[in-house]
């Protein structure tokens, strides 16, 4: 294709994306949206889809400047999708940990807490900076911070592929796989204000830092204490990751430790091997281990989490097996299945894992055709998957949530390897048919996985997980309920404990745990509530019962009245023991008399 034609095609792509973003901005969300996908105008999706199709084609077919522009176009599209809550003027997004992080950020902004008092203060500090410098609400500052921490993932994954193989198709494929956002699984990692998930997007930055250290062997002016600039870069990026969330620092240390172990064995076994020319990672592994140990062991929250993990390993009905059984029963009750949900939520990760696994096997069998230098880097990452998978198994047996977070970390490594693996696969296919045919086939497979990955980045009814859009009306309702209602009366939700809103609205006042900040809160007893026994549905005491659009969407529409029915809510309206005391378009609160 001629350069002029490519330039026009790229211009069309960027223009389509710009139009899509402007249309989305011109149509902000006015009410609660169960799905950001259906709430966003169709024109926006057409513009973003056209831009993404052009980006995939150019990233695969072109090299050099044109490929870089194609990657930039695709990265812009994916960043726009991730930024939809910001673009469409969401008040906030996130109803779990996100609200607690909002509370901590509010405490920092109000000088009720210093950033260093938090175990991982980076996200909160970034949001506070946006709040003060940009004059924007704290809620919006956190959403901006989410986007800022996501962008490095799109930039550094293709850069790592370039460090491994040099310029070529692998760089473009690595970029495309990064657009699938494989680390997000909506089980324990989420696209939102969720520090553990946000930290995953910084892992490639640390990986690129030690790739640069391994690759660049030229003598460079040394820094004090014998440090090289690249060693310093490793420490700085790793500390940055630690401040966002420390769990994935464990993965980075395991990764570096595996590389150091491979280097040690290579020096014992070989007299001539590319690994012998690489500077060792021994010191970096030890130093980062010490930094993490000093940071983590001095924190009570980390010690409690470690104790809980160890206890979970020795308890029955705790761990991934029990979690999977529970999810399977829930899916079957609403007419779905665990297999169907696995395909939707993990299908693209499964495909990429299979391709990478077969590729690594060919490398170990000596059938890959890679040069020795590239093969060395592939072996580093492939062998590092062994301890990382072992860590996943420990989490799986002890703390299922941590296990699915570890899957997110492993997905980062698979994303890095996928560029090289798929480039070799397309190259082999091109030898059988033709180069255009092989590239076209690769584009189709990548395109399908890309669509599947992007359609599950945010929670939505398609995965039985409604979007956690927090509107002005919902904030207003909870503010009134928390600040004006009787503080001694429990605030009770329909399957969702409202205490997180107390965190988000009033802050945690320096408390470093995620325990309830409200005087008393909880969830209604579904069986008692459905039987019409409203007076005994919460410990037989007086309580304030909250219903929001999120609750009714989840329980009535998505869960198909599995736990709560519309009839029970309608009956509550006329019950003599219940009075509606707060009501707006998306929030209702009833004062319910208990039996006592």
Question: Are the beta carbons of 92 and 503 closer than 8 angstroms?
Answer: no
Contact 535, 595 (CB under 8 A): yes
DSSP string covering 285-300: HHHHHHHHHHHHHT-H
Residue 582 has phi, psi (to 5 degrees) of -135, 135
Same domain, 495 and 588: yes
Provide the β-strand partners of residue 518: none
Question: What single DSSP character describes residue 225?
Answer: G
pLDDT score, position 514: 41
**Same domain membership, residue 176 and residue 308:** yes
For 429-443, b/e burial (b = at least 16 CB within 10 A) is bbeeeeeeebbbebb
Q: What is the pLDDT of residue 516?
A: 43
**Residues 373 and 230 both lie in one domain:** yes
Q: State yes or no: pLDDT of 218 exceeds 60.
A: no
Rounded to an integer, what distance in angstroms lies between the CA atom of residue 523 and that of residue 505?
19
Q: What is the DSSP string of 483-523?
A: HTS-TTSPEEESSS-THHHHHHHH--TT--S-S--SSSEEE
**End position of a domain, from candidates 434, 463, 492:** 463
CB 246 within 8 A of CB 198: no
pLDDT score of 513 more than 80: no
Does residue 518 surpass a pLDDT of 60? Answer: no
Closest residue by Cα to residue 404 from 317, 331, 345: 345
Query: pLDDT averaged over the chain?
Result: 89
Are 254 and 202 in the same domain?
A: yes
Domain match, 406 and 481 both: no
Residues 434 and 345 in one domain: yes
pLDDT digits (tens, 9 = 90+) for 272-329: 888 998 988 999 999 999 999 888 777 666 655 566 555 555 555 545 455 555 565 6
pLDDT in tens, 521-531: 899 999 999 99
- Indicate whether 69 pLDDT > 50: yes
Listed residues 444, 463, 482: the one ending a domain: 463
The stretch 96-124 carries a mean pLDDT of 92
**Is residue 517 predicted with pLDDT exceeding 50?**
no
Phi/psi at 244 (5° precision) = -80, -50
Q: Which residues contact 280 (CB under 8 A, 6 or more apart)?
A: 260, 263, 264
Do residues 252 and 348 share a domain?
A: yes
What pTM did the predictor assign? 0.93
pLDDT in tens, 339-394: 888 888 999 999 999 999 999 999 999 888 889 999 999 999 999 999 999 999 98
Number of domains in the chain: 3
DSSP code for 334 = T
In this structure, the answer to whether residues 104 and 68 fall within a common structural domain is no
Structure confidence at residue 231 as a pLDDT band (50, 70, 90):
confident
Between 219 and 582, the higher pLDDT residue: 582
Task: Give the helix/strand (H/E) hosting 470.
Answer: strand 469-470
CA atoms of 41 and 578, how far apart (whole Å): 40
Q: Which helix (H) or strand (E) holds 547?
A: strand 543-548
Residue 479 structural domain: 471-592
221 shares a domain with 344:
yes
User: Residue 590's Cα: distance from chain center in Å?
Assistant: 36
Per the CB < 8 A criterion, the answer to whether 48 and 22 are in contact is no
Segment of 147-156, 560-569, 572-581 carrying the highest mean pLDDT: 147-156
- Euclidean distance between CA atoms 247 and 406, whole angstroms: 9
Last residue of some domain: 70, 90, 110? 90
Give which of 413, 134, 138 is closest to 259, Cα–Cα.
413
């Amino acid at each position: 294709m001629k350069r002029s034609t490519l330039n026009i095609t790229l211009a069309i792509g960027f223009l389509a994306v710009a139009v899509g973003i402007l249309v989305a901005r011109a149509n902000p969300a006015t009410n609660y949206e169960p799905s950001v996908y259906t709430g966003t105008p169709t024109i926006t999706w057409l513009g973003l889809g056209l831009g993404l199709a052009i980006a995939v084609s150019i990233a695969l077919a072109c090299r050099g400047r044109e490929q870089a522009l194609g990657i930039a176009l695709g990265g812009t599209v994916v960043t726009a999708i991730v930024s939809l809550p910001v673009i469409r003027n969401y008040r906030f997004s996130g109803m779990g940990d996100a609200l607690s992080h909002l509370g901590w950020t509010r405490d920092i902004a109000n000088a009720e807490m210093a950033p260093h008092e938090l175990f991982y203060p980076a996200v909160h500090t970034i949001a506070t900076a946006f709040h003060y410098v940009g004059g924007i609400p704290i809620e919006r500052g956190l959403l901006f911070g989410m986007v800022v921490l996501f962008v490095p993932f799109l930039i550094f994954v293709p850069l790592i592929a370039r460090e491994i193989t040099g310029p070529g198709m692998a760089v473009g494929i690595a970029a495309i796989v990064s657009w699938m956002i494989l680390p997000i699984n909506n089980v324990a990692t989420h696209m939102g204000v969720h520090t553990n998930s946000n930290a995953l997007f910084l892992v490639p930055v640390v990986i690129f830092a030690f790739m640069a250290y391994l690759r660049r062997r030229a003598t460079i002016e040394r820094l004090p204490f014998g440090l090289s600039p690249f060693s310093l870069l490793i420490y700085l990026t790793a500390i940055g990751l630690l401040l966002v969330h420390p769990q994935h620092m464990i993965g980075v240390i395991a990764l570096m430790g595996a590389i150091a172990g491979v280097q040690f064995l290579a020096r014992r076994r070989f007299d001539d091997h590319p690994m012998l020319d690489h500077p060792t990672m021994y010191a970096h592994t030890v130093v980062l281990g010490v930094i993490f140990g000093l940071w983590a062991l001095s924190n009570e929250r980390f010690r409690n989490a470690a104790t809980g993990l160890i206890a979970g390993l020795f308890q029955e009905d705790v761990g991934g097996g029990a979690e999977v059984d529970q999810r399977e029963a829930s899916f079957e009750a609403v007419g779905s299945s665990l297999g169907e949900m696995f395909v939707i939520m993990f299908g693209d990760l499964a495909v990429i894992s299979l391709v990478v696994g077969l590729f690594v096997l060919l490398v170990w069998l000596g059938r890959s055709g890679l040069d020795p230098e590239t093969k060395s880097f592939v072996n580093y990452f492939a062998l590092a998957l062994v301890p990382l998978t072992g860590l996943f198994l420990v989490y799986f047996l002890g703390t299922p949530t941590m296990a699915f977070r570890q899957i997110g970390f492993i997905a980062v490594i698979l994303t890095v390897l996928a560029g090289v693996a798929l480039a070799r696969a397309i190259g082999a296919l091109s030898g059988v048919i033709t180069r255009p045919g092989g590239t076209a086939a690769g584009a189709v497979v990548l395109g399908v996985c890309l669509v599947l990955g992007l359609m599950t980045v945010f929670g939505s009814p398609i995965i039985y997980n409604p979007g956690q859009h927090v509107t002005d009306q919902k904030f207003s309702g909870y503010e009134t309920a928390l600040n004006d209602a009787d503080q001694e009366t429990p605030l009770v939700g329909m399957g969702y404990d409202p205490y997180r809103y107390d965190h988000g609205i009033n802050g945690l006042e320096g408390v470093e745990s995620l325990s309830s900040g409200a005087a008393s809160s909880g969830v209604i007893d579904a069986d008692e509530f459905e039987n019409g026994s409203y007076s005994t549905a919460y410990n037989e005491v007086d309580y304030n019962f909250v219903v929001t659009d999120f609750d009714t969407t989840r329980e009535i529409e998505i869960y198909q009245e599995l736990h709560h029915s519309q009839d029970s809510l309608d009956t509550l309206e006329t019950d003599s023991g219940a009075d509606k005391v707060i009501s707006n378009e998306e929030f209702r609160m009833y004062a319910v008399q208990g039996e006592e």
